[in-house]
Amino acid sequence: MNRALDETMTERELPSPVKLGLNVLWSTCWTGFPIKIGICLLFMALGLIHFETRIGLAFLMYLASPVTVFAMPILAMVAEPHLGEGAGIALLFLICIPIDIWATGVVARTFFLDKLGKEPPEGLGLSLWLKTAFVGALFMPILWVVVSFATQTSIELSHSLFETEMLKAVPVAEKIGIELTLWGGASTTVLIVMMLLGVSLVGRVIRSAAQSAAPAAGDYQALVKRWDLMRVPADQGLMLTATTLVGAVLSMLFWSGLPVSTPHPHECCKKPEVKAAPLYKPVDTLNKAEKNVAQLAVQVEALEKQKAEEEAANEKDKGKAGKAKPADAKAPVKAPATP
């Protein structure tokens, strides 16, 4: 399939701002997210970052953002969440800056050539990242305020709805379910509308950059080959060696620092050591039982022999006592003297 790219696309021919924003932002999120999550895991293993369990999902959303370094401070100023502790948090957000700029540049250049047929200008990734960060810095507080107001208002309206005479008899379980559906649906709808509005603003920034870009020369196959070769390094051997060494170093750091994040019981809360029961072996048990039976048989024989010797000694003593009694009977008995 070939297409002519001799003329610059007009504003009517360009995709809608929402579509432009979704295409660029979605691809940018998943281009830089694996690298950022790997660095985050390394910092956690080294004990540089400590997070609360309840904000795990929110932190992943911060990392997935193409402007991670601005997403967290903005939400922290508005909502005042306690994200965690450790010097690695600030370091992580600073490292995310070049990663986000690189991801934005890769995705934007590919999108301009493949979808828009435009020549990507120099510094496209940096310029789009700065403009997106500016839009996010202005829009994120508005998003938070609007969604919070909509959620609080819908909760109050759902509560007041069940205070009327007609709905007072509704059971508690059904009441909770209906209220959750009412205010949850309303707040979710407002959130989706506001997110689409924010994506549309980013799309307008991308559209303005596309309108000022020159048309790309060559047919579609030449463009495909061009943006495909952009992903291939000039020195593939050097790239493979560097990637392998970096991966090996990061793996060694991760496994060497992993015990730091392993929880250990406090001195006052140590549990007593419990030894595992030995493995049951029927053959050894039978052999041990046979030895015990043999030992008991020897002991019984010794006891019987000892009892027999004691009985023989008793009989011998009785015989000697019987012979001594007649001699004692023949002995004269002197009469007592009379006064």
72 contacts 87 by C-beta, under 8 angstroms = no
Nearest to 29 by CA among 115, 96, 119, 114: 96
Confidence check: pLDDT of 78 > 60: no
Confidence check: pLDDT of 148 > 50: yes
Q: What is the mean pLDDT of the chain?
A: 76
Name the more confident of 264 and 124. 124
Q: What mean pLDDT do residues 114-139 have? A: 85
Name the more confident of 277 and 208. 208
Q: Binning pLDDT at 50, 70 and 90, where does residue 266 land? A: low
Range from 26-40, 51-65, 131-145, 300-314 carrying the lowest mean pLDDT: 51-65
- Rounded Cα distance between 71 and 89, Å, is 13
Nearest to 61 by CA among 86, 91, 25, 95: 25
Confidence check: pLDDT of 328 > 60: no
* pTM for this prediction: 0.62
Looking at residue 309, its pLDDT comes to 84
Q: Binning pLDDT at 50, 70 and 90, where does residue 12 land? A: very low
For the chain, the structural domain boundaries read 17-232
- Rounded Cα distance between 72 and 70, Å, is 6
Q: Binning pLDDT at 50, 70 and 90, where does residue 11 land? A: very low
Confidence check: pLDDT of 106 > 50: yes
Sign of torsion over alpha carbons 319, 321, 323, 325:
negative
Nearest to 135 by CA among 89, 198, 62: 198
Q: Binning pLDDT at 50, 70 and 90, where does residue 74 land? A: low
Nearest to 114 by CA among 179, 210, 39: 210
